[in-house]
Chain A
Amino acid sequence: MTDAGGGEPARAGPAGVPAHEAAEPEPDPRFTLANERTFLAWSRTALALVAAGLGIVQLLPPFPGVPLGRHVLGVPLIILGAVIAVAAYWEMTRNQHAMRRGEPLPRSILPRLLAGTIAGIAALAAAVVLLSAVR
């Protein structure tokens, strides 16, 4: 995901568009392409989350003593994948509008959303594994 830094080229580009040229209908093509790559990188992240959730439910053997353990872990991952896909599209559109107006890029909610949910899933996984070991 090294190409996922959507905001970086907008600040560091050698021909960066100054804020007072906001009348330009479209930003520098390189910024648009970077915005598109960021969207694609988040879409692949979303696909990976869905694959991980499906893999947990379909491929893992059941946790002894925790009948729905696999679903408790897998279903939130799948839902998070769908949410991230939609949020990535929304942020890509929003960033493109901001670049057309020459405004600074708004802060992305996606890293916090991803980190928070992964931490939550990790806690759930620890709970399921411990519960399964105790029984």
Chain B
Amino acid sequence: MSTAPPDQDEPGIGEPANRTRLAWTRTAIALAALGAAMLRASLIAGVIVIALSVPVWAAVRRIGQASDALSSIAVLRLVTATVVLVAAAALVIAFLGHGPVTLSELLHGH
């Protein structure tokens, strides 16, 4: 999963850099999973959220390359904006979408 060989890391920050790569990966997976869960309620919202997990996952690549500065502030802002967008979409779905009423509707659609 790590995109750069470990020997390219500066000695001494390899371990924190690896932890940070894993944290980015977990965040991307969480985002994609939530997007997949939203697909049923809103196809468009689900696809957008899954698509937004791609740049978050791609952020793994630059960890350890410019390690003396915060990760490109644009990616961090993107994460925040994405979570806010997901929350807004969830609110719209909560008020406009009709959730399944019974278990069979949950399993077989409605």
Decide whether A and B are members of one complex.
yes
List which A4-63 residues lie within 8 A (CB) of chain B. 9, 26, 29-30, 32-37, 39-41, 43-44, 46-48, 50-51, 53-55, 57-62
B87 touches A82 (CB 8 A): yes
Interface contact B27-A43, CB-CB below 8 Å:
yes
A44 touches B84 (CB 8 A): no
Q: Give chain A interface residues in 78-112, CB to chain B under 8 Å.
A: 78-79, 81-82, 85-86, 88-89, 92, 96
Asked if B70 contacts A40 (CB within 8 A), the reply is no
Across the two chains, which residue of chain B brings its CB closest to A37?
B23
On chain B, the number of residues with a Cβ less than 8 Å from chain A's Cβ atoms is 46
Is there contact, CB below 8 Å, between B19 and A3? yes
- A62 near B101 (CB under 8 angstroms)? yes
Contact present for A75 and B83 (CB under 8 Å): no
Determine the interface band of chain A, counting residues with CB < 8 A from chain B.
35 or more
Q: Is B31's CB under 8 angstroms from A92's CB?
A: no
Chain B residues whose C-beta falls within 8 Å of the C-beta of A60 in the assembled complex: 99
B90 within 8 A of A: yes
Indicate if A74 sits at the interface (CB-CB under 8 A).
yes
**Is B3 part of the binding interface, using a Cβ–Cβ cutoff of 8 Å?**
no
Would you call B71 and A86 a contact (CB within 8 A)? no
Give B47-86 as 1s and 0s: 1 = Cβ < 8 Å from A's Cβ atoms: 0000000000000000100011111000011011001101
Once bound together, how far apart are the Cα atoms of A128 and B8, in whole Å? Answer: 56
Q: A32-B70, A55-B37 are in contact. List 19 more A-B contacts (CB 8 A).
A: A3-B19, A33-B67, A37-B19, A40-B24, A40-B26, A43-B27, A47-B83, A50-B34, A50-B83, A53-B90, A58-B100, A59-B99, A59-B100, A70-B99, A71-B94, A75-B94, A81-B90, A85-B87, A89-B80
- A86 with B84, Cβ < 8 A, contacts A39-B76, A48-B30 known: yes
Would you call B69 and A59 a contact (CB within 8 A)? Answer: no
User: A101 to B2, alpha carbons, bound, how many Å?
Assistant: 33
In the complex the two chains form, what is the Cα distance from A50 to B17 in whole Å? 28
The interface residues of chain A lying within 8 Å CB-to-CB of B63 are: 33
Are A36 and B94 closer than 8 Å at their CB atoms? Answer: no
Which of these, A32, A33, A44, A50, contacts B87 with CB under 8 Å? A50
Does B83 contact A81, Cβ atoms closer than 8 Å?
yes
- B90, A40: Cβ atoms closer than 8 Å: no
